[in-house]
Amino acid sequence: MAVTSTAIDLSLSDNFSEWSSLGSSSPIHPGSKEYSYTKIASTLQAGRKGPYTLKPQSFVLAWTAEKVEIPITSRLAARVEGKSSLARLGVGIHVTAPVIHSGFKGNIQLEMFNFGPHHIVLEPGMWVCQLVFELTTGTPEKGYQGIFAGQTA
| The residue type at 64 | T
Catalytic residue among 18, 34, 111, 123: 111
How far, in Å, are 1, 41, 67, 143 from residue 149 at the CA level?
21, 19, 13, 9
Long-range contacts of 145-151 (CB under 8 A, 24+ apart): 145/103, 148/109, 149/104, 149/106, 150/105, 150/106, 151/106, 151/107, 151/109
Active site residue 18: no
DSSP 98: -
Q: Which residues pair with 142 in a beta bridge?
A: none
Q: What amino acid positions are annotated as catalytic residues?
A: 111
